[in-house]
Amino acid sequence: MTTLISPATGQRIGEAPSASLAESDAAIERAAEAFPAWRDVTPGERARLLRRFAAVVDEHIEELADLEVRNAGHTRGNARWEAGNVRDCLNYYSAAPERLFGRQIPVAGGVDVTFHEPLGVVGIIVPWNFPMPIAAWGFAPALAAGNTVVLKPAELTPLTAIRIGELALEAGLPEGVLTVVPGKGSVVGERFVTHPLVRKIAFTGSTEVGKRIMAGCAEQVKKVTLELGGKSANIVFADADIAAAAASAPYAVFDNAGQDCCARSRILVERSAYDEFLGRLEPAVTALRVLDPGDEASEMGPLISAGHRDSVRRYLGDVDVAFAGTDPGGPGFWVPPSVVLTDDTAAPIWREEVFGPVVAVMPFDDEAHAVELANDSDFGLSGSIYTSDLGRGLRVARGVEAGNLSVNSHSSVRYWTPFGGYKQSGLGRELGPDAPHAFTEEKNVFIAH
Ligand code: NAD
């Protein structure tokens, strides 16, 4: 069993099961047994079951949100959005079974057609920062494509995944089609990688563990998608609406207390607008409502654990904080939103993913310099560009080596658009219209006339 702690209070909130190696094997074998029947469910019926699953999730949004507020310390507004995102992903991909088109390719002497066939058992490994959406981004398209799924939530945040697994059964998905296997990465997660019946791993988490998983998958030439860390840049040009850019910057990095792979944790500001931007950023940061996550007004909650809070504090111990917001204090795992000014591109605060409410700000000289600084990173997940020049916005968006850019906005993830990273931020793409294809083999069949 794993003891679960409330991040907001530091108090024990309960226990969750932790599967052994034998239990992991049994879950994988049950998923493999359930596969042929699930693959053969007609497209219309599979679509109907996924829509039913979405409807059952919708009936439990408040319950799921409550669990996430307690278990992960997410603000209530975020947690509700996250549960709604599970429903929306299921609804979106419920349209896929009837649209999993192949192609008919002109050939001499016959007919050539392609099919997208499911892989079998898919293993989905989820981090603690967005337990519900990241699980659904994997299981919704994987199930729609006809695979069965074993899902491992993070040790710290298993409650919503366990509940979603129950809701799948309530909605009528057959036993073994979606199985939640809570437990340790070194036991359950590794077994997904080494078990030959698991045909693909969809992993989201740290770059360090992702590299290890990729190496493990190589042993069996197992398919793998990786969604890893980030150190994304928010680039603010002097011709931008500086007030709007400064007002939105805190939300681009401090949402979910900075525990967001897409966090714009580096702000690059054109030198001529630097002072004005900082002057406007400070009140926006100090006004952020860092409150108990159960409070409807809360905009930022605590960090996930005492250990993670200590790691974020270590980064702050090595730098001068220019200004910071507040936090409620007490026994929870709180760190106030903090702003650091730097001109040192080698500094850990500039290069490493802190994964907490900390942002580093640096001035730049011109467009080429901004792109150079943004790309001077091992990561490449997301980023923002603030400018009133549309041509420049598009040029810089094309120039930044990252998978998800927004111009005059800090939005990153929509379930109906593709999502993923360049460089060490990941491998492959999730979401968007093509996601089900990533859970299939393409088969080519030639029929002679
Ligand atoms: P983590 O890598 O420690 O753990 C992620 C998951 O992998 C957990 O379920 C864990 O139990 C499991 N795991 C650990 N060791 C394993 C092993 N040897 N074999 C198999 N599974 C193993 O990451 P975390 O601390 O939970 O999450 C934070 C990280 O996730 C950050 O780096 C963040 O940027 C990243 N992240 C990326 C995205 C994205 O889409 N790119 C989204 C969210 C989070």
Could you report the per-residue pLDDT of 375-392, keeping only the tens digit for each?
999 999 999 999 999 999
Is 227 in the active site?
yes
Shared-domain flag, residues 154 and 10: yes
Is 442 in the active site?
no
Whose CA is closest to atom 9 on ligand 1?
154
Report the atom number in ligand 1 closest to the C-alpha of 209. Answer: 2
Sequence-ordered alpha helix ranges (H) in 288-400: 306-317, 348-351, 367-375, 390-399
Q: Among the options 89, 217, 261, 262, which is catalytic? A: 261
Sign, CA dihedral 207-213-216-218, equals: negative
Ligand 1 residue neighbourhood (C-beta within 6 Å): 125-130, 134, 152, 154-155, 185-186, 189-190, 193, 204-206, 209, 212-213, 227-230, 261, 353, 355, 381, 421, 425-426
In a domain, 266, yes or no: yes
Are 357 and 256 contacting, i.e. CB atoms less than 8 angstroms apart?
no
Candidates 251, 226, 183; CA nearest to 28 is: 183
Shared-domain flag, residues 76 and 200: yes
CATH number for the domain including 355? Answer: 3.40.309.10
Whose CA is closest to atom 28 on ligand 1?
205
Are 97 and 47 contacting, i.e. CB atoms less than 8 angstroms apart?
yes
Beta bridge mates, 444: 114
Whose CA is closest to atom 37 on ligand 1?
228
In a domain, 194, yes or no: yes
The answer on pLDDT for 353 being more than 90 is yes
pLDDT tens across 62-78, in order?
Answer: 999 999 999 999 999 99
**Rounded Cα gap, residues 262 and 371, in angstroms:** 18
**Test site for ligand 1: of 2, 126, 129, 264, most ligand atoms within 8 A of the Cβ:** 129
In a domain, 419, yes or no: no
Shared-domain flag, residues 240 and 220: no
Shared-domain flag, residues 382 and 436: no
Shared-domain flag, residues 364 and 437: no
Ligand 1 center–CA 152 separation, angstroms: 11
pLDDT tens across 290-305, in order?
Answer: 999 999 999 999 999 9
Whether the pTM exceeds 0.95: the reply is: yes
**Rounded Cα gap, residues 347 and 332, in angstroms:** 29
Q: CA of 302: how far to CAs of 266, 298, 444, in Å?
A: 21, 11, 51
Contacts by residues 33-42 (CB-CB < 8 Å, ≥ 24 positions apart)? 33/176, 34/148, 34/174, 34/175, 34/176, 34/177, 35/118, 35/120, 35/121, 35/147, 35/148, 37/174, 38/143, 38/146, 38/147, 38/148, 38/174, 38/177, 39/118, 39/146, 39/147, 41/146
Confidence of residue 47 (pLDDT cuts 50, 70, 90): very high
| Confidence at residue 35, expressed as pLDDT on a 0 to 100 scale | 99
Ligand 1 center–CA 50 separation, angstroms: 27
Write the DSSP symbol of residue 436: G
434: CB partners within 8 A, 6+ apart:
418
| Confidence at residue 411, expressed as pLDDT on a 0 to 100 scale | 85
Shared-domain flag, residues 104 and 127: yes
In a domain, 20, yes or no: yes
CATH number for the domain including 217? Answer: 3.40.605.10
**Rounded Cα gap, residues 131 and 200, in angstroms:** 20
pLDDT tens across 90-127, in order?
Answer: 999 999 999 999 999 999 999 999 999 999 999 999 99
**Rounded Cα gap, residues 53 and 168, in angstroms:** 6
Tell me what the pLDDT averaged over the chain comes to.
98
Ligand 1 center–CA 206 separation, angstroms: 4
Mean pLDDT value across residues 147-163:
98
Shared-domain flag, residues 129 and 272: no
Shared-domain flag, residues 134 and 268: no
In a domain, 219, yes or no: yes
pLDDT tens across 257-298, in order?
Answer: 999 999 999 999 999 999 999 999 999 999 999 999 999 999
Ligand 1 center–CA 395 separation, angstroms: 33
In a domain, 420, yes or no: no
The number of helices, as runs of H, and strands, as runs of E, in the chain is 14, 18
Sequence-ordered alpha helix ranges (H) in 94-156: 131-144
Whose CA is closest to atom 30 on ligand 1?
205
Q: Among the options 68, 82, 227, 270, which is catalytic? A: 227
Domain range enclosing 349 = 233-414
Report the atom number in ligand 1 closest to the C-alpha of 425. Answer: 41
**Rounded Cα gap, residues 99 and 134, in angstroms:** 23
Whose CA is closest to atom 12 on ligand 1?
185
Are 447 and 253 contacting, i.e. CB atoms less than 8 angstroms apart?
no
Shared-domain flag, residues 285 and 214: no
| Confidence at residue 309, expressed as pLDDT on a 0 to 100 scale | 98
In a domain, 67, yes or no: yes
**Test site for ligand 1: of 78, 224, 228, most ligand atoms within 8 A of the Cβ:** 228
Cβ-based neighbour number of residue 128 at 10 Å? 20
Shared-domain flag, residues 342 and 375: yes
Whose CA is closest to atom 35 on ligand 1?
205
How many domains does the structure of the chain reveal?
2
Whose CA is closest to atom 40 on ligand 1?
227
208: CB partners within 8 A, 6+ apart:
none
**Rounded Cα gap, residues 326 and 348, in angstroms:** 24
Shared-domain flag, residues 296 and 324: yes
Mean pLDDT value across residues 31-39:
98
The answer on pLDDT for 161 being more than 80 is yes
In a domain, 79, yes or no: yes
Candidates 231, 230, 207; CA nearest to 362 is: 231
Shared-domain flag, residues 301 and 437: no
